[in-house]
Structure 1
Amino acid sequence: MRRIYQNSLEAMSKSKRNKFNSPSLASKSEKIEEPIRLDKDGNICVRILAKPGAKQNCITDISIDGVGIQIAAPPSEGEANAELVKYLSKVLRLRKSDVVLDKGSRSRNKIVLINKDSITTDVVKELIQREIGL
């Protein structure tokens, strides 16, 4: 019984070692995504770290995790989401219909899609940095 148990542990550790040491899996996990990027359709994806319930709307920072935005609306009944879209459209000088909440309607981590025909990623980064004051 003991021998079977030891052999099964050795077999499991070898299979795990092969999985994690393969170059294809390591390269996928090391891939770092930008907070502002293009999706497969060419639309601009902006990763948002929303902070609802603030005194005023403002962009706090840009990091690898996303663009930190304080929202002056409570996180109930979608009020903060609507305010987020309204504020981003104002900062980016776009129509509200060009800015759409794609994912994260009930989370602080959100993905906002911006119409590909309305603006470029470089302009989005520049306008967000200008709003921060960098």
Structure 2
Amino acid sequence: MLGRVCRPAVSVTAVARAAAVRAHTMPRKEGKEGKGRKTEPPAAAHPAGPVVLDKSGSVLIAVHAKPGSKLNAVTDVTTEAVGVAIAAPPTEGEANAELCLYLSKVLEVRKSEVNLHKGGKSREKVVKISAAITPEVVLEKLKSEASKS
């Protein structure tokens, strides 16, 4: 009996149950439309751009942070993110605090209404604006700030 590994006995029902679970979690093949299958809405229905409105009514901004710059500036506005140069080092949250402060000045809202939502240790961040402002106004202010630099 040397070299053999003892395994606990597994019942047939446990194996069948695991197979059934796997069968229900497998992705379906894409087929013809119709026959009651749900289809995704066209891509145009999804919000495009770096500024969107979330379920709670707050505005979310996708930001590509560039910490350690000489001064604060909105460098570019693309369909994926808003490029923001930050004049603070990326240590101990200094750049995150400076980013929120700078965006509050650009968007003309209170500092307390601008919070880091995601990406505390990443260059790709999501900033949440809880002020009464529309995504269109936010995008326009960011684009006008980008054109100044």
- Give the TM-score range, shorter chain: 0.7 to 0.9
Q: 1:64 aligns with which of 59, 62, 79?
A: 79
Moved more, 122-131 or 47-56: 122-131
Q: 2:102 aligns with which of 64, 69, 87?
A: 87
Q: Is the 8 A contact 2:64 2:83 kept in 1?
A: yes
Question: How has the CA–CA distance of structure 1 residues 133 and 76 changed in structure 2, closer, same or farther, with 3 Å as cutoff?
Answer: same
* Unaligned stretches of 5+ residues in structure 1: 1-14
Change (3 A) 1:19 1:57: same
**Following TM superposition, by how much is the alpha carbon of 1:24 offset from its aligned partner in structure 2, in angstroms?**
3.7
SS of 1:133's equivalent? helix
User: What secondary structure sits across from 1:107 in the alignment?
Assistant: coil
2:143 is aligned with what amino acid?
Q
Mapped to 2, the partners of 1:38 and 1:121 lie a distance apart of 6
What's the % identity of the aligned pairs? Answer: 45
Query: Please, which of 13, 22, 29 is the counterpart of residue 18 of structure 1?
Result: 29
Contact 2:67 2:95 in 1 (8 A): yes
Higher helix share: 1
Pairs aligned (count): 118
> Matched residue of 1:50: which SS?
strand
Q: In terms of Rg, which structure is larger? A: 2
**Would the aligned equivalents of 1:20 and 1:26 in 2 still touch at CA under 8 Å?**
no
Give the 3 Å change call, closer, same or farther, for CA 65–121 of structure 1 in structure 2.
same
Distance 1:77 1:20 in 2: 51
- TM-score (ref. length: structure 1): 0.76
* 1:77 maps to which of 92, 113, 118: 92
The residue identity in structure 2 corresponding to 1:128 is: L
| Secondary structure of residue in 2 paired with 1:18 | coil
Structure 1 residues 20 and 31: alpha-carbon distance in aligned structure 2, compared to 1, 3 A threshold: farther
| Structure 1 position 109, deviation (Å) | 0.6
Q: What's the C-alpha RMSD, in Å, of the aligned pairs? A: 2.6
Deviation at 1:70, TM superposition (A): 0.5
- Residue pair 1:42, 1:116 contacting (<8 A) in 2 also: no
